[in-house]
Amino acid sequence: MYYYVVVGIMVALYVTLTLSVNIITGYAGQPTLGHAAFLGVGAYTAAMLMTKAQVSWWLTFPAAFATAALVGLIVGAASLRVRDDFLAITTMGVGFVVVAVFQYVPWFGGAMGVGGLVPPPGVDKYVLLGLTIALAVLTGLISWHLERSWAGMALRSVRDDEAAAEAMGADIRRFKLLAFVTGCGLAGLAGPLYAVHLGFVAGPDFAFHFSMTVLTMAVFGGLGTIRGAVAGAIILGVAPELFRFISDYRNLVYGALLIFMMLFRPTGLLGVTRLKLPRLLGKKGGA
Amino acid sequence: MPLLQCKGVARHFAGLKALDGVDMSVEQGEILGIIGPNGAGKTTLFNVICGVYPPTYGEVLFEGRPIHGLRPSAVAQLGVGRTFQISRVFKSMTVRENVVMALGKKEYASVFSALGGRPSAADRQRADDLLEKVGLIQFADQGAGEMSLGLQRRLELARALALRPTLLMLDEPVAGLSLPEMEEFMKLVRRVHQDGITVVLIEHNLHVTMQISQRLLVLSYGKKIAEGTPAEVQANPAVIEAYLGREDEEVAGSAQS
């Protein structure tokens, strides 16, 4: 039973992360290859507050959200200058920088990371599972509201055609920022849960590989939809547990899946939109 | 006071003077056609007015207020609706959603108002009314990207009308359309004009432009070379020269084309 709870916590965290990357890449069409770094920002915010300032774990949630949203705002500001493939590279770079800061700045515990992160009394793995599911549901509800609002309309129009979105009166800079701040903030909110679930945080845990896992889930399930993000996170989150024998080849399988989906079903299992990476993937006519 | 005024508008692209001191005024309620050979600066003028790029020199006034340097979204908020030369419908949305999106113009003025509300049944009804008007109602639930070019142009028109514009700017609205499609589209433009919307259109097709415009403005190499009624412009030697070349260049001109 305990095993299922542990898997459940990870899958619920994946759902939150996939839904949050879906706000940026799915709704607003802005590719981001550094999303795990924002989980890292949230997790480290919690870890530092708990170990250095003895702040209650519960109070680290708003701080984790705020810090991740703030870093998201900065990355979002960069996204106003670059598009598509350039933005993908930029966000990848942000991911590297964040991980490097955690890893090499001694205050953040250096290569050893920060350990000894225990949840407050009363929060066992079952409660943690409940909380991670609650966060996934909250992220789903926020996505649901966003999708149906005028802001959701504006984001979809930005994804489809920025010049036309502007001509309809939507300042695309504001809406791109909205997507980044919301998506990154929600990823950060998962940080405190992640931190006490594992008991320690370390920079490399939030590296490119994790970002790609989350993006693969979103693309596999189908970008631009809640059902796609949830399905992608659950299927690819549970699959490695079911197929233990291929767990050594997990990255290989994820990579192959991503290529397969791009070639044969670019909208994902249940999605509506394609990942915009024309040049990286060598689309015809690309430079 | 003219609805729209351009005073000495210039736009340079790294040494190329795409627009070189253009004066223009558009009166409330008229249809103004902007014509000129390829590369004359027509679309650049459009883009400067709509805020896509700021003018290098000069000013643009809308309802007496300077609008040069504003973002395209701000210009749209003030009541300028536009269509694009290359179709720019929202391809992943349905035809109806395209129009509904434009109906949210006021909400997009702030992120908070955009987050606070959502399209209502009344908005969908209003979108359907506009689709009815441009003859696309039977395609309302179809994906916008799957439609023919002619229908996409009409969708762009419906979308621009959803902004409730005072000024409608059409960038080569009939380019690439068949003759019947062209006539159909121009009938629509006339109907829009009768509803009290001022129209500025760029067109390559002289025949169409002459027919629909009350006044014409002719651009060549970034400069205004003539202005007046279609009959006046047609008789203007400078216009004939810009389009057909001078008589002693005639041989060279026809060899080029």
- Calculate how close chain A gets to B151, using CA atoms only, in Å: 17
Q: Is B15 left (phi over 0), alpha (psi -120 to 50) or beta?
A: left
CATH 3.40.50.300 placement within chain B = 1-79+165-185+196-257
CA gap B208, A169 in Å, rounded: 30
Q: Does B149 touch chain A (CB under 8 A)?
A: no
Nearest Cα residue to B161 out of A156, A171, A167 = A167
**Dihedral, A151, A156, A159, A163 alpha carbons, nearest 10:** -70
- In order along its 257 residues, chain B shows pLDDT tens digits of 899 999 999 999 988 889 999 999 999 999 999 998 888 889 999 999 999 999 999 999 999 999 999 999 999 999 999 999 888 999 989 999 999 999 999 999 999 999 999 999 999 999 999 999 999 999 999 999 999 999 999 999 999 999 999 999 999 998 888 889 899 999 999 999 999 999 999 988 888 888 899 999 999 999 999 899 998 888 888 888 887 776 665 555 444 44
- A-B CB pairs within 8 A amount to 107
pLDDT tens, residue by residue, A174-206:
999 999 999 999 999 999 999 999 999 998 999
Q: Do B113 and A161 touch (CB under 8 A)?
A: no
The structure tokens 């795990």 sit at: A36
Residues 6+ apart with CB under 8 A from B185: B150, B153, B154, B157, B173, B174, B177
CA gap B10, B18 in Å, rounded: 7
Q: Do B92 and A172 touch (CB under 8 A)?
A: no
CA gap B15, B33 in Å, rounded: 28
pLDDT tens, residue by residue, A108-133:
988 888 988 888 888 899 999 999 99
The structure tokens 């996204």 sit at: A79
Query: Do A67 and A192 meet the contact criterion of CB atoms below 8 Å apart?
Result: no
Class of domain B1-79+165-185+196-257: alpha beta
β B57-62/B31-35 pair status = unpaired
Domains of chain A are: 2-264 (1.10.3470)
- Calculate how close chain A gets to B101, using CA atoms only, in Å: 6
CA gap A17, A229 in Å, rounded: 9
- The residue of chain A with its CA nearest to that of B82 is A167
- Calculate how close chain A gets to B102, using CA atoms only, in Å: 5
Residues 6+ apart with CB under 8 A from A268: A218, A219, A220, A221, A222, A223, A228, A232, A261
**pTM of the entire predicted model:** 0.89
